[in-house]
């Protein structure tokens, strides 16, 4: 969970201006440092008290943060400024090309690769009571994480051979590669 503040921020998160200025850099850093595999925005309007309260429920922020962990960086605006809410939503609804068929509040899931947003999916939120709204949000993230786990390619394990070569130093590794490449070249020239 990554809050975005209309002021200078309050510890965790980013200021509104800094986030807008550095959005691509932030996403790239999260991926490169293993802080996230994917991303999400929780977009809601200023008057959506249920969702605002859901994000501030006792332990709600912590539960969502533990759930999403290093899998999804979840950005959301934490502000009491109506104008900032309107700007934030307008900017990101436009940037993600979200048309009028969707209404706020919603969760926008996306990936960030090659300095571009990819694979955008949207989940609308319907609950208008804080506790139910939190459960709905939690369930949406649970389902998304399950789908991510099902679609991830299996982790390739490195053979012990390469680990041993790497630990013995460059000269041994270089010599081993030289032998391997000469054997491959020999097989190619003999037609095997």
98 and 122: one domain? yes
Which long-range CB contacts under 8 A does 25-33 form with residues at least 24 apart? 27/73, 27/112, 28/112, 28/115, 30/73, 30/112, 31/112, 31/113
pTM: 0.74
9 and 36: one domain? yes
38 and 133: one domain? yes
Please state, in angstroms and as integers, the Cα–Cα distance from residue 68 to each residue in 16, 146, 166, following that order.
22, 11, 34
Q: Cα(138)–Cα(68) distance, rounded to whole angstroms?
A: 10
Domain that holds residue 176: 160-189
On whether the CB atoms of residues 130 and 44 are closer than 8 A, the answer is no
Per residue in 23-80, pLDDT tens? 999 999 999 999 999 999 999 988 888 888 888 776 788 889 999 999 999 999 988 8
Domains: count for the chain = 2
């Amino acid at each position: 969970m990554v809050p975005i503040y209309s002021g200078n921020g309050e510890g965790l998160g980013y200021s509104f201006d800094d986030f807008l200025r550095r959005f691509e850099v932030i996403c790239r850093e999260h991926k490169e440092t293993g802080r996230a595999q994917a991303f999400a925005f929780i977009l809601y309007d200023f008057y959506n008290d249920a969702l605002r309260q859901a994000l501030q429920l006792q332990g709600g922020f912590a539960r969502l943060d533990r759930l999403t962990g290093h899998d999804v960086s979840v950005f959301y605006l934490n502000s009491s400024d109506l104008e900032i809410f309107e700007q934030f939503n307008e900017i990101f609804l436009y940037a993600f090309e979200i048309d009028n068929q969707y209404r706020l509040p919603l969760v926008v899931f996306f990936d960030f690769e090659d300095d571009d947003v990819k694979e955008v999916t949207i989940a609308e939120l319907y609950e208008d009571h804080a506790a139910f709204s939190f459960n709905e949000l939690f369930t949406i993230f649970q389902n998304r994480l399950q789908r991510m786990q099902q679609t991830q390619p299996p982790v390739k394990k490195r053979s012990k051979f390469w680990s041993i070569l790497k630990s013995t130093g460059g000269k041994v590794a270089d010599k081993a590669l030289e032998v391997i490449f000469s054997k491959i070249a020999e097989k190619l020239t003999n037609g095997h």
